[in-house]
Chain A
Amino acid sequence: MTRRYIVYAEDDEKVLEVSDQPGALVSVSAPPPPPGQAPASHPFLSASAYDPFREGALRRILLESSDFDDFLSRLKQAGYRVVPA
């Protein structure tokens, strides 16, 4: 069973949709990677980010995370609200 979550910032802006299935990392604000460049993928989650101003911070949290649950935990610690989808 896939676990899916929506992540909101303190201002209730949706900033991320994330699931525990390995897959693509997507920035909805940016164009798809140019032809010839595969989308970035991740070993323990797939996610779509929605706020260009917060994407860098979210990525830093992801890079520090050891697994999916650790990522969710770190998001909460950083002040984000994580809601099951």
Chain B
Amino acid sequence: MPRLSTRLRDDDRAGERRPEGSPVRRQGEHSREALDLPLTADGLVRLQKLAGNASVSALLAGRTVQRLAPSPEESAPPQGNERDAQVALAPPPTVGEVAAGALGAAVAGVAAAAAHAAEAAATAVAENPQTVAAARPILRLGSKGVAVCDLQVRLNQAGATPQLKVDGMFGPKTYRAVRRYQALSGMTVDGIVGKQSWLGLGVYKPSASRTNEKEREEALSKVTIDTVGHGSSTAAIAAASALQGQQWKNLDLVGLKQLAGMTIEIHVIPHDKKLTDLPDFASLRGTTTFDGRLWDDVRGINMGKSGTKIRSAVAEEALISIRGKPSGYGPGFVAAHENGHAVRNALSAEQNTKLQKLFDDRKAAHAPPAQNAADDEYWLSPSWYAGANSDEYWANSVAAYYNHPYNTTETVEKMYTPAWLAANDPKMYAFLKSVF
């Protein structure tokens, strides 16, 4: 039976969230409690009870070894101008994603959406535990359910302003966010979420790259992917988990095989904590980055690969809106950028060589930068990060590929889209398509 791994970290805020009978851990000790819950409706109810209330800081970790199909009522056939969609079967929400949706909805007091998510998870697993491929439903004003939760998380990551409440209800605010997203992405603006919108939001993959789905699933089952909350809100954890779904689980087979046996962790830095308050990063306390920033105050990090772990962290306020604490970056940018760095660990030697050449060629073609440079020159201007090295070029390109702008100015929002990449940096766009 598929299992959902829920892990509690000893650095979470309240000791009472530790499950009964679990041993007390010393601060900073790296051990974890693993509660393996069978993924049934009962299991999800237990998970929801474990989460309990809005102040809960117990870690929700989406361990993503299974994929789920949407419930039957959500799987409406394509309609209207979406009818002839022949896109590929893309990764449906994972167990972790669906559970995150359920948990987030439960915490928000939206019992119906949570129950729907639980039902979807249990039904899908019971009916077909190997289910991989299922088209996302067409969503429109009035739609409800876990797919809407997923949409809202993705719209928030794509920069919905104001950020949407993840409640599973496709109301006027979600409708306006969809229309704005479609307009910014150069799509037909109709407020209906179909193939093109899901594609832009990172759900679908071209079918040609999905011919080895069974192999991909097998490779993915050898990778542990965790989101570590450290007491952050469930909405932020869900957003971080969805980001993982966008990147790690979309990796091509080559990348997934590189990750066999690895544990990938994305830590969420609570808005009221410093990076170095988290045990995994405490040893950086009082030290600086090479460019002179105090690590304590930096709101994200990519730790790269160490042994069998790949770790990164991102601030809660960079994942969701926190009143009084704007991140300054575009929504989802830091997470997409840092996770992009982490994903580079999964590139093959051949892919890394190709990436370095892409960077060298692009730099050579655009140096020196002009004053008031055109968009594509600004993208790789040596005075800015993407021009500094192939890692930053890659990480920012990943952010653009997944629609997470560096900031929310009109110029930059237009640059951080797959459409802009395809038009202005087609080789990088093609490379990204081959990797994800």
Where the two chains meet, the residues of A that have a C-beta atom closer than 8 Å to any C-beta of B are 16-17, 23-36, 38-41, 46-50, 52-53, 55-56, 58-59, 62
Contacts and interface: CB of A to CB of B under 8 A. Distances in A.
Given A24-B291, A26-B389, 9 more contacts: A23-B382, A23-B388, A26-B385, A26-B392, A29-B289, A29-B341, A36-B328, A49-B291, A52-B284
Nearest to A37: B328
Interface stretch (B42-50, B90-98, B105-113, B294-302): B294-302
Given A29-B303, A31-B299, A35-B329, A24 B290 contact: no
B410 to A, nearest CB: 13
A55 B286 CA distance: 12
6 contacts: A16-B290, A23-B388, A27-B289, A35-B328, A48-B290, A56-B289
B353 interface: no
Given A23-B382, A24-B382, A26-B388, A32 B287 contact: no
A62 B333 CA distance: 30
Contact of B389 (A35, A41, A48, A55): A48
Contacts of A47: 290
A25 B382 contact: no
Nearest to B341: A28
Contact of A39 (B283, B284, B299, B383): B383
Interface string B335-368: 0011001000000000000000000000000000
A24 B302 contact: no
Nearest to B333: A31
A52 B299 contact: no
A6 to B, nearest CB: 11
Contacts of A25: 290-292
A52 B383 CA distance: 22
A59 B385 contact: no
A59 B290 contact: yes
Interface of B: 283-284, 287-293, 295, 298-304, 327-329, 333-334, 337-338, 341, 382-385, 387-389, 391-392, 396, 406-407, 409
Nearest to B326: A34
B300 A30 contact: yes
Query: 3 tightest CB-CB pairs across the interface, nearest first?
Result: A49-B290, A56-B287, A35-B407
Given A31-B329, A31-B334, A52-B284, A39 B385 contact: yes
A82 B295 CA distance: 26
Nearest to A26: B388
Contacts, number: 114
A40 B328 contact: no
Given A27-B290, A30-B289, A46 B388 contact: yes
Given A23-B382, A25-B292, A53-B283, A34 B388 contact: no
B299 A55 contact: no
Contacts of A35: 328-329, 406-407, 409
A62 B388 CA distance: 18
Contacts of B283: 53
B284 A53 contact: yes
B383 A27 contact: no
A31 to B, nearest CB: 4
Contact of B293 (A30, A46, A50, A58): A30
A28 B391 contact: yes
Contacts of B298: 30-31
A49 B391 CA distance: 11
A30 B388 contact: no
A27 B382 contact: no
Most buried by B among A35, A38, A50, A58: A35
A33 B333 CA distance: 12
B406 A32 contact: yes
A14 to B, nearest CB: 10
Contacts of B341: 28-29
Nearest to B344: A28
Nearest to A59: B290
B84 to A, nearest CB: 40
